[in-house]
Amino acid sequence: MADILQNVMDHAVAVARKAGEVVCEALSDDRKVMTKSSGVDLVTQTDQKVEKLIIQSVKEKFPQHRFIGEESVAAGEPSILTDDPTWIIDPIDGTTNFVHA
C-alpha cells in the first residue's frame, strides 16, 4: 500500500510542477478574466487549462481515479463523491491575486 501511495504522491508532485510552469508562463501573457457565479468569482483560461492538465495526466496514470474540479463543477459537471480515489482540484488557489499578477 505504501508503494501505491508513494507512486500517487510522486505523480502529484510531477503534475503540480507542470501546472506551475503553465501558471508562470501565463503571468507574462494577457490573462483573460471571466466570472462564474458573481462578479467577484473569477476564473481565467489558465485556471481551466491547469485543471484539464491535471485531470488528463492523472487519468492516464490512474484511470480508476475520479475528480471534483472547481472549474468543472462551476461549468455544470456534477460533484460526485464515491469510494474511488478522488482528487479535489482548485487549479489556481488565489485567482484574484493571479489576475493582478
Which residue ranges make up the annotated binding site for Mg(2+)? 70, 90, 92-93
Binding residues: 70, 90, 92-93
Instruction: Count the neighbouring beta carbons within 10 Å of the beta carbon of residue 11.
Output: 15
